[in-house]
Amino acid sequence: MKLKFGMIVTDGVNKIGGNVISKNHFGRFARTYVVPADPRTTAQQARRTRFQTYALNWKALTGTQQAAWIAATVNYPRTDSLGNIYYPSGQNLYIELNSNLTFIGQPAVTSPPTKVVPAAPPPYHLVVNETGSSYSLNPTVPYTDSTVIVCLKATISLSTGINYVSTQLRNIKQFSPPGGAAVAFRTDYVAYFGAATIGKKVFIELYVINKTSGSSTKGSFVGAIVT
């Protein structure tokens, strides 16, 4: 359990007893603690392999190379669940950026790249039409950033009353920014989840990874009733 002290306690997250204190855009909430499933999917195993590969490769770097990664961490401030600023270790930064690059098919780097944070994907309209076998993302403005690869996450068909879905999003597709064209993804969705259930709800989230720096930025997620 993490606590943030003021006069007594002003905030807290993580597990306490049989509950977990967490946060979404509505504020703090408590839920019952459960042990997450470990299905060992192909995608999950691939992520673990990337992590293990670069954890080992870090040890093979020279002292000078490791020092450069450690020095570069000052350019990558993070904010934890209590709003505090912290910085990754040099090893974690090396693993993170190279894992991102490998995921989108780009070569790994041994020296820290110049940080280039891509702009977030633009808003888009989601259509999940199982009756017409048409699932698509329609950008609301033309999207033409050639420096990034777009990664699409989706959820399985969910109850229409569910809105907290961050733990249920799965990577199903990658593509280059489509300009102003719609992006079809039914084939990718069905291959991963099976056909969406009419009357239920599907959520999508896009994020982008810069092809030279490995830095990523998430867009907002959007949901649509399956028709």
Q: Span 43-48, mean pLDDT?
A: 76
pLDDT for position 154: 97
Instruction: Give the domain extent around 221.
Output: 124-225
Q: Span 57-68, mean pLDDT?
A: 96
Tell me the per-residue pLDDT of 129-180, one tens digit each, with 9 for 90 and over.
999 999 999 998 999 999 999 999 999 999 998 888 888 999 999 999 999 9
Is it the case that residue 41 has pLDDT exceeding 80? no
Domain annotation covers residue 112: no
The total of structural domains in the chain comes to: 3
Of residues 215, 217, 104, 223, the one with CA closest to residue 154: 223
Domain annotation covers residue 50: yes
Q: 157 and 220: one domain? A: yes
Q: Are 222 and 203 a contacting pair, CB within 8 Å?
A: yes
Q: Span 29-47, mean pLDDT?
A: 62
Q: 128 and 211: one domain? A: yes
Task: Compute the 3-state secondary structure of the chain and give helix, strand, coil in percent, each to the nearest 5.
Answer: 25, 35, 40
Strands 134-139 and 78-79: unpaired
Name 187's Cβ contacts closer than 8 Å, sequence gap at least 6: none
